[in-house]
């Protein structure tokens, strides 16, 4: 049975489903009992925010791939402008991300990165 070509893919799907679905069900059952202003959810939001900040800092300071070809000042400027647009537009994530990407691409074209 394990000689079939699809067996490895089936195992990956089943293992991935079991590993993630259990936590989803725990979240559904526990989520109804948690207060939004409770200490646990405040801590979870703080950890999530710190993780996102860490990923952004890593992308700016230690980029890889095509992002590494762009100067650091351009990466930092696009993040700052993206955050400013995010704040000005009433915390609309789409506008913040799009403006940061537009600044990054426009700056890349202006410095002759193409």
Contact of 76 with 60, CB cutoff 8 Å: yes
Which of 49, 51, 75, 50 lies closest to 62 in space, CA to CA?
75
Look at residue 42 and tell me whether its pLDDT is greater than 80.
yes
Contact of 81 with 100, CB cutoff 8 Å: yes
Q: What is the spatial distance between Cα 112 and Cα 3, in angstroms, rounded to a whole number?
A: 53
Q: Structural domain boundaries of the chain? A: 1-33, 38-110
Look at residue 27 and tell me whether its pLDDT is greater than 70.
yes
User: How confident is the model over 98-107, as pLDDT tens digits?
Assistant: 999 999 999 9
Structure confidence at residue 1 (pLDDT)? 54
Mean pLDDT over the full length of the chain: 90
Mean pLDDT of the region 1-20 = 83
Q: What is the spatial distance between Cα 114 and Cα 111, in angstroms, rounded to a whole number?
A: 9
């Amino acid at each position: 049975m394990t000689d079939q070509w699809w067996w490895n893919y089936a195992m990956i799907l089943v293992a991935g489903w079991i590993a993630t679905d259990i936590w989803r069900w725990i979240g559904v059952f526990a989520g109804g009992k948690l207060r939004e202003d409770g200490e646990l959810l405040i801590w979870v939001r703080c950890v999530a925010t710190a993780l996102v900040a860490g990923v952004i800092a890593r992308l700016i300071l230690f980029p890889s791939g095509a992002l590494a070809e762009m100067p650091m000042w351009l990466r930092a400027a696009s993040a700052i402008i993206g955050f400013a647009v995010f704040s000005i537009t009433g915390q609309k994530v789409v506008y913040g991300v799009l403006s940061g990407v537009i600044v990054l691409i426009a700056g890349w074209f202006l410095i002759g990165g193409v």
